[in-house]
Structure 1
Amino acid sequence: MAVEPEGTPCWADAMFSDVEAAKTFYGDVLGWTFGESSSEYGNYTQAYADGKAVAAVVPPMPGQEGQSAWCLYLASPDAAATATKIRDNGGELLMEPMQVGDFGTMLLARDPGGVVFGVWQGGTHEGFEAKAVPGAYCWAEIFTREPEKSDTFFPAVFPYKAKQFQDESMDFRMFDVGENTVLGRMRMTDDFPPEVPPYINVYFTVPDCDAAVARAAEHGGVLRFGPMDTPFGRFAALSDPQGASFSVIDITRTEGEMPKVSDAG
């Protein structure tokens, strides 16, 4: 796949204290196979779906041990310029732009409401080699208790146009790049325990949502929500045995009418 337009999700990875256990879990739940770990880059290990690179797992760097979490990277043609925009709009840089060999340049940041995300300026590694096929990334949503902060921050940093769901039961917004909807934003309700920090929930495609949930449970995963049918697919929210949250979705099984949306400011 070519380099994605600015602001489009282009890669996902996660740190695990037990990488081998993570490989076993995701290998069975999502059908991933894994490449050789790259000792030159902290034993970074790519995951593949049907031979296409779709994500990566890595052990924590010294001092970075803690809760495992998936990190979504948004595409940038100039990571240094994006870093300046992040700072100028109240965000925090957790890792300054860092060149990763000839693969590209990365940074890690936090929005004013506490949502952590990455930025990737592609070099020889352009990002996802597949999307929306079994085992591959499909969609992501910002979960935040302070949506007004994310709603201001992200369109100031990336070329997003926003649309708001006309649904009083939830506060949900979508960000578009050009004609493509690339990211969602959901207000966290009181259903979320207070100790759960804001985060970006990454969805991986599966051929059968219920079967994926059953396999996750067999390997020590925890079902957080669903499975539920929606106009976008049948999905479920899970946590893996090391605490990283993610969702699985069968995009071939859709039900119900698409919600009405309106342009947001």
Structure 2
Amino acid sequence: MFSDVEGAKRFYGDVLGWTFGESSSAYGNYTQAYVDGKAVAAVVPPMPGQEGQSQWCLYLASPDAAATGERIREHGGEVLMDPMQVGDFGTMCLAREPGGAVFGVWQAGTHEGFEAAATPGAYCWAEIFTREPERTDAFLTAVFPYRMKEIDDDAVDFRMFDIGEDTVLGRMRMTDDFPPEVPSYVNVYFTVDDCDAAVDRATKLGGILRFGPMSSPFGRFAALSDPQGANFSVIDIATTEGDMPTIKEV
């Protein structure tokens, strides 16, 4: 969601190699982004009342958006926009979890979501950065069919959420390194084939490097803010370093 949609298209087109479809005026000027012809994201202008708050929003899949909205309310979350049908494409709602991070819920119709993932230019991973991890963890496992596990390391408070055999979401406790004015948020990672080159492209176009680049067992990654202030990360999953951490069930 961007105050300057054309600016976002230029920035992410250059940084991540996206191309864009036609803007759909019937659906709030929603514009689909593609890599090699596959849908990987979308850009839209802000909704009324949310101007000046450019940000990425991750949508979590649901078989019944209305039922998920009820569970969100029952377990301490807030529904910011009631479930709304979007033509034949699906049904969406927007919510805030108890720790403060905003996310979406999507009940698929003809549009199921990402057509590519974990390939250059496409979505790879997401983490909820929260100041209230206990509330966030309890909420996520109550609302969604997640099994929770954590990295067995006293130096980091990081949990992961599985559906079946797939790990689909992370949760990181926000430390004092984050300025107090930064609210809890969902950090979305996009895949790149060279992290350092992607950071160089982003910063030359007005992006701000927040962290990294850093190599890890999961890949070489960096955290950025785009010129409009939306936070995101890039990761090269082919460049890894170090041993995988010990992970235990919670």
TM-score (norm 1): 0.93
Could you give the per-residue CA deviations for residues 199-248 of structure 1, whole angstroms, max 9, x where no partner exists?
00000000100000000011000000000000000000000000000000
Distance (Å, rounded) in 2 between the aligned partners of 1:42 and 1:108: 15
Distance (Å, rounded) in 1 between the aligned partners of 2:116 and 2:224: 22
* Structure 1 residue 66, shift from structure 2 partner: 2.1
Counterpart amino acid of residue 41 in structure 2: A
State the secondary structure of the residue aligned to 1:93.
Answer: strand
* Structure 1 residue 50, shift from structure 2 partner: 1.1
* Structure 1 residue 62, shift from structure 2 partner: 2.5
Partner of 2:51 in structure 1?
65
Gaps of 5+ in 2: none
Partner of 1:250 in structure 2?
236
| 2:210 is equivalent to residue 224 of structure 1 | yes
Distance (Å, rounded) in 2 between the aligned partners of 1:23 and 1:164: 36
* Structure 1 residue 167, shift from structure 2 partner: 1.0
Distance (Å, rounded) in 1 between the aligned partners of 2:145 and 2:201: 39
Work out whether residues 157 and 173 of structure 2, in 8 Å CA contact, stay in contact via their aligned partners in 1. yes
Partner of 2:225 in structure 1?
239
Distance (Å, rounded) in 2 between the aligned partners of 1:166 and 1:62: 44
Gaps of 5+ in 1: 1-14
Partner of 2:88 in structure 1?
102
Segments of 4+ moved more than 2 angstroms: none
Distance (Å, rounded) in 1 between the aligned partners of 2:38 and 2:150: 34
Work out whether residues 46 and 53 of structure 2, in 8 Å CA contact, stay in contact via their aligned partners in 1. no
Bigger relative CO (Cα 8 Å, ≥ 6 apart): 1
- The percentage of aligned residue pairs carrying the same residue is 79
* Structure 1 residue 67, shift from structure 2 partner: 1.9
State the secondary structure of the residue aligned to 1:201.
Answer: strand
Could you give the per-residue CA deviations for residues 160-192 of structure 1, whole angstroms, max 9, x where no partner exists?
000011111110000000110000000000000
Alignment map for 1:52-201 (pairs within 5 Å): 52-201=38-187
Distance (Å, rounded) in 2 between the aligned partners of 1:115 and 1:39: 28
Distance (Å, rounded) in 2 between the aligned partners of 1:109 and 1:259: 32
Counterpart amino acid of residue 129 in structure 1: E
CA RMSD for the aligned pairs?
0.6
Count of residue correspondences: 250
State the secondary structure of the residue aligned to 1:70.
Answer: coil
Could you give the per-residue CA deviations for residues 50-74 of structure 1, whole angstroms, max 9, x where no partner exists?
1100000011123220221100000
Partner of 1:208 in structure 2?
194
Distance (Å, rounded) in 1 between the aligned partners of 2:203 and 2:235: 16
Distance (Å, rounded) in 1 between the aligned partners of 2:242 and 2:13: 32
TM-score (norm 2): 0.99
Counterpart amino acid of residue 250 in structure 1: D
State the secondary structure of the residue aligned to 1:25.
Answer: helix
